[in-house]
Structure formats: C-alpha cells, structure tokens
A and B are shown apart, each in its own frame.
Chain A
Amino acid sequence: MARVDLDQISFSVGATKILQDVSLNVTNGEFLALLGPSGCGKTTTLRCIAGFVTPTSGNVRINGESVVNLRPNRRNVGLVFQDYALFPHMTVRQNIAYGLERRNISKADIDKRANEMVSIVRMEGYEKRRPNELSGGQRQRVALARALVIKPDVLLLDEPLGALDRLLREQMQIELKRIHRELEITTIIVTHDQEEALSLADRIAVMFDGRIVEIGSPSILYEQPENRDVMSFLGTSNIYAGSVIAAGKGEITVECDGFSVQARTTQVSSVGNRTYIGIRPEHIRISITPINDEPNVVHGWVETTVYKGTHLEIYVRTSADVGFLARASDASLTEAGKAAVGDPVYMTFDSNHVLVFEGEA
C-alpha cells in the first residue's frame, strides 16, 4: 500500500511528444483509472510507474521516494498485462509463486502466501494447470494473483479486461472491486472503456494527446465535466456550438443553429461569447404533444429509434438539420415509445442539465 505521485512527467521519442507534463497524485488505497482513446499516452504513463519507460523529464514517486532511477525489479509494483503474460512453461502455481521466489522468503511462507492468493482469486483446484489449459477469465485471475502475491506497493492494470467477453468482463469488474476492497491496495487501471472506468474507479483521469485534461470522481466527470472532450468521451452526448445572446445572474441563453437554450452556469459570461453546450441523452424528454410552458423546447422529427433493451434511443432531427439523441429508460411507459419514425416531437430539458463549455469555441 502506498501513494503514487507523478510530478510533471514528459516523455518524447525523437520529436514526438508522447507525454506532456503529466501530474497525478494517487492516494493510499485509491482505485484510479487512466482513461483515454488509444494512443493518448495512458499505457506509457503506466509503464513509467512500472519502470519500463524512463520519463524524459519529471519525477515518479512511490511513497514519496523517487523511483525514476530504479529498475523495474526494484520497484515492488504489481503489473497485470492486457495479454496476461502468464509464463506458458509454468503451472498456475509456479506462475503465482514466481515473484515470491525472487524474494528472500522461506519455502513455508511461499507455500502459505501462494495458497492464500490462489483462494483469494478463487482458483483452487487449478494449481497444476498450465496457462493454455485455462479460460480467458481464469488466466486473468492468475495474472492478478501473480501480481498481488508479492504485496506490491501499487497494482497496475493495463487494459486487463479488454480480451474478455462482455459478461465475463462485468463479472471480473465485480471481482476486481472485491479484491481491491479486501486488500486495500493502491490500484491504477488503464482503460479506453469509459464504462469500465466509471464502474471501477474512485477517481478517473482522462487523457488526450499525452496530457491529463481532467481528473475527478466518476459522477462529477460524467455529470459535470469541465471539458467538452471529456463529456463526449464519457458516454454519449449532444454537443453544439453557439453564442451567448443573454447573460443573467447564474443563467445564460445560448443561441445555437436554429434553436436556443437556457443554461445555468457559475461562469461569468457576456453576450456575444462563443460557447459550446452539452446535454446528456437521458436528460432529454420527448413529447408528442406541443409544450409551451418550459424554457427549453426544441422541435424536430423522429429520424430513427433504436431499442436497446434497458432503454430506447430516439434520434431526432430539427428543421435546421441538427441531430439530437434522446434516451428514454422506460420505453413502454413514456410517450417517447409512441413516437414513430417521421413523427413530429418536442424535446425538453432542464436548464440544470445543460452544460456550458465556454472559451472553447
């Protein structure tokens, strides 16, 4: 258990800047997700902590002490690879004991700790099998056990669930949470899957182009992101460019292409400012009868509906050819379910739910 600090680390290969001033403070026992599209530098950041990449500048500290000059085998870091990287020529048991055998630990203690870890990841009875005799989920558990058994200061997970199918992935997410809770180990997970980040992490750091653009709890990042790219990366969203046509106390009116919306904002804004607004699909209500008594109403026609089981997605297009995506979670009961393709509909949403990204236009 430990805290991990990255102090403005940068990493370049030739003229290509892979990481730019990445700073991150992960506290004791925290579960942090590094989230971003492929190529954003999240894996490189993880490899800086593990010791496989030496930053061009900046410092990596574990428990306050700089580790940049330590080789990977001196860092006491547990690493789980996307492809698991289990040793194919060793049994499950030998894989798990590998890290213990590299330390000054008595045979009896190795046995005890390896057995304990086998039961934590629920792999009893598989000790003598080889990795190629295991399913994807089982390999994942062994990889996790192998990384955890050495009692690392920090557990690093590199897209650990990427190779699993959906159902297994969800099971493993629950497992990961359970193990994290039981062992209270500082954990950093790298993922491009926003759902995975949202469901696993205490905090998420979103990375684009080698920079961390926003850090926050899953709910803050999802509900009140400060960055437009973060909003569009985390879940689905409707984002439009517009300009401020009225600015009042904590509230502004933004004119977009063919419609205008009222939004609450804490930012000081003045008329004429260019801005972006964002609305989550689940905050848009669909009505088939005209609505006049609400501030935010946008008229359009149903373009497509997509039934998703738990919810219904309705794609609406306005007369100014602007597309909206709305999501009705109980399709059979709401009016949205009655809307057929081509029907005129009225979309309403609270000004509280309109996010404003000013100064980015």
Chain B
Amino acid sequence: MSEDRLFRYFITWLGWAAMLFLVFPVVLTVVVSFSGSQFIEFPPKSLSVDWYTNIAKINKIGEATLLSLLIAALTGLLTVAMAIPAALALARYDFPCKGAISAFLLSPVAVPMIAIGIAILQFFIWTGLPFNWLTLLVGHMVLVSAYPVRTLIASLTLSNPSLEEAAASLGASRWTVFRTVTLSQLTPGLISGFLFAFLISFDNYPISIFLVRSGLTTMPIEVFNYISQQLDPTPAAFSTIYIIIVSAIIIFAERRFGVISLSVKG
C-alpha cells in the first residue's frame, strides 16, 4: 500500500469517526426518549412513548418555549437586518480600519459565552435598565450577530458583481439595484444567517441564565432545571421533537437555498 493510499484510508476513517462522534448524542437522545425505564439507560430494556406525554410536566414549558421562539425569531430578524449593511460594506468597499472592524464584528464567536453573559449583565446593571424580554433580546443579538455577518459576506463574495453593474447600466438606481438584484443574490446568506441566529438563540442557556428575572424564563432554562431535579427521559422526548423540527427546517433550507454549502465555503 502506498503512502498516499494509507493517508487517504486514515482520512476516510477519521472522517467517519468524527461523524459518529457528532451524531452519537443525537441518536442516543432519540433512542433514550423511547425507553420504558424511569432512568436514562442505553440501550433501553423496554420501549414506551410515555415520556412524550410527560413533556407537559416540565415546569412552564409552554410559556418558556413560546418566549424562546419569540426571542429567537426577533434575534434572527434584527441581526440579519443589521448584518446586511455591515456585510455590504465589508465585502464591497475599502475603508480605513476595515480589518479591525471586521474582526470586531466577528469577535463574539471567539469570546466564551459565560464571559459575554457576565459582561451583558454588568452592562445592564450599570445602565439601570429593567430586566425584561428586551434585555434578553439584546443579549442574544450580541451573541449571534457574528453569524449573519459571516454568511452574508460569504453570499456576497460568491455572487457576481457584474450583475449589479449590468443592472446599473440598464438604468437602475443604487436602491433599485439592491432591491432587484443584490437582495436575491443574498438570499442563501439571509436564510442561513437567520437560521444560525435563530437556532443559537433558541437553545441558548449561558447568556439567558444571567438575564432572566422576575418570572421570565426560556425553554433551555426550564429543560435544564427539570434535568437537575429529575433523571427521567422526558427532556430526551422534548429534544427528539426539537431535533426533528430543526432537521426538517435545515433540510428544506439546504434543498431550496443551498445554505450549508454557503456556511462551509464562507
């Protein structure tokens, strides 16, 4: 066997091992959710769907999920809207301190979430603003803002700038060019940016835990509370539903807009 083939063998197996490593917790969760046992055990000795009916017993789960959905949707929409001009500037124009500004915008990814959480908490205490769903929203926006910027820059880099020039030479003003040509080129970046923002916000725990006050609570917090008090597979059942819905959305987005390839290339 040549060295080259050996290397390829090694890489192939490494790839499969990595896939297994990533997928195993998901498979484990799904399997455990159908377990008949009171405790989390793998592989399960008996099967049941009881834990799915038990989901409602998680404290405030409906209310918390609704708030998480609302915060996630708003976080996604607002960060994407804010990321469009930032990405356009970074991808299409040259200006002083461009590198520094770009690094700054992408930095929340590199800072530990706990650190961001503490920082945001201290900021809001310092400002004296009341803690409510708005502070939670702002906290989440800070956390996820880097993702839409990144996916939109990727979209812009992949799109053909002569499309915009063609539109301009045909008589379109800057705004019309943006509306009729640029925006459609940005679609994959908008969708994947929104998805990243939405999903990261939706199941965020470390930031939310600092910012929830006075009855406000989110889905991950309640699920985590449940786990810390009970050891039964109810959260696994909840997670399984969550995994199915998210997978369906991602598969649809990939088929329709090719969003995964975009985030990989970018």
The answer to whether B171 and A83 have CB atoms under 8 Å apart is no
The answer to whether A72 and B184 have CB atoms under 8 Å apart is no
Does A249 interact with chain B (Cβ within 8 Å)?
A: no
The answer to whether B169 and A73 have CB atoms under 8 Å apart is yes
Does B172 interact with chain A (Cβ within 8 Å)?
A: yes
Contacts of A33 in B (CB 8 A): none
Contacts of A81 in B (CB 8 A): 162, 165-166
With A83-B160, A87-B181 known to touch, is A103 a contact of B165 (CB < 8 Å)? Answer: no
Compute how far the CA of A75 lies from the CA of B162 in the bound complex, rounded to whole angstroms: 17
Contacts of A86 in B (CB 8 A): 166
The answer to whether B166 and A79 have CB atoms under 8 Å apart is yes
CB distance from B98 to the nearest CB of A (A): 17
The answer to whether A102 and B165 have CB atoms under 8 Å apart is no
Which residues of B from 166 to 182 have beta carbons under 8 Å from A? 166-173, 176, 180-181
Contact of A78 among B162, B169, B172, B176 (CB under 8 A): B169
With A73-B171, A99-B171, A102-B171 known to touch, is A85 a contact of B176 (CB < 8 Å)? Answer: no
Compute how far the CA of A298 lies from the CA of B56 in the bound complex, rounded to whole angstroms: 102
Does A98 interact with chain B (Cβ within 8 Å)?
A: yes
Which residues of B from 148 to 202 have beta carbons under 8 Å from A? 160, 162-163, 165-173, 176, 180-181, 184
The answer to whether A79 and B181 have CB atoms under 8 Å apart is no
Contacts of A146 in B (CB 8 A): 166, 170
Contacts of B171 in A (CB 8 A): 73, 76, 99, 102-103, 150
Interface centre among B166, B180, B184 (most CB of A within 10 A): B166
The interface size of chain A toward B, counting residues with CB under 8 Å, comes to 25
The answer to whether A85 and B162 have CB atoms under 8 Å apart is yes
Contacts of B176 in A (CB 8 A): 102
CB distance from B165 to the nearest CB of A (A): 6
The answer to whether A85 and B170 have CB atoms under 8 Å apart is no
The answer to whether B181 and A52 have CB atoms under 8 Å apart is no
The answer to whether A83 and B162 have CB atoms under 8 Å apart is yes
The answer to whether B170 and A99 have CB atoms under 8 Å apart is yes
Does A51 interact with chain B (Cβ within 8 Å)?
A: yes
Compute how far the CA of A100 lies from the CA of B173 in the bound complex, rounded to whole angstroms: 13
Contact of A71 among B160, B162, B166, B168 (CB under 8 A): B168
The answer to whether B160 and A98 have CB atoms under 8 Å apart is no
Does A166 interact with chain B (Cβ within 8 Å)?
A: no
Contact of B160 among A75, A78, A85, A103 (CB under 8 A): A85
9 residue pairs of the A-B complex, CB under 8 angstroms, read A72-B165, A73-B171, A73-B172, A78-B169, A83-B160, A85-B166, A86-B166, A87-B166, A99-B171
The list of the 4 closest CB pairs from A to B, nearest first, reads A99-B170, A102-B171, A85-B162, A85-B166
